[in-house]
Structure 1
């Protein structure tokens, strides 16, 4: 008799208010996903974000010194950002075009 196959998936159960389920279901439908797939993807993304925020950044002493040197330089304007910030906001532009 062959051995019993080991289960690779593990169930996760949680209690949620109906309002939360309604939002989750609506978002899942908009993405064309099942509730399970949607919740799993959202949970995995949140978990990865937390883990990435807590990972140490490793670099050589020389690399760290180069990093510190760049941060210590005076700030320089980025011409593209300066140009964007000079433009009127969309709501300001529409007010000036009114008759």
Structure 2
């Protein structure tokens, strides 16, 4: 008797307005992907985000104490970020072209 073959793929069907399909097709083309690949990747990414938002974080009591101690410390400046925020934005510099 032949063994049943386990399906590795499951079809998903949905009805979408033409405007939604056009947006999806445009974005998929910009990424060089098929509509199916683009939608599958987007759906899986969105599902992973939801799962990560609701996943409990477990740690030992000592680990939790270390975590809360790190959060309680005063913020430390990151020199690279300080320097970045001191720079003028490209549109604020005198050498930028504004089209006027």
Mark the runs of 5 or more structure 1 residues left unpaired by the alignment. Answer: none
Q: In the aligned structure 2, how far is the partner of 1:72 from the partner of 1:7?
A: 51
Q: In the aligned structure 2, how far is the partner of 1:6 from the partner of 1:61?
A: 44
Q: How does 1:1-99 map to 2 (within 5 A)?
A: 2-93=2-93, 96-97=94-95
Aligned length: 96
Q: In the aligned structure 2, how far is the partner of 1:4 from the partner of 1:74?
A: 61
Relative to the length of structure 2, the TM-score reads 0.86
Q: In the aligned structure 1, how far is the partner of 2:60 from the partner of 2:23?
A: 47
Mark the runs of 5 or more structure 2 residues left unpaired by the alignment. Answer: none
Bigger share in helix: 1
Sort the Cα spacing of 1:69 and 1:25 in 2 relative to 1 into closer, same or farther, 3 A.
Answer: same
Sort the Cα spacing of 1:7 and 1:89 in 2 relative to 1 into closer, same or farther, 3 A.
Answer: same
Q: Deviations over 1:9-37 (max 9, x none)?
A: 22211111111101111111122221111
Larger RCO of the pair (alpha carbons < 8 Å, separation 6+): 1
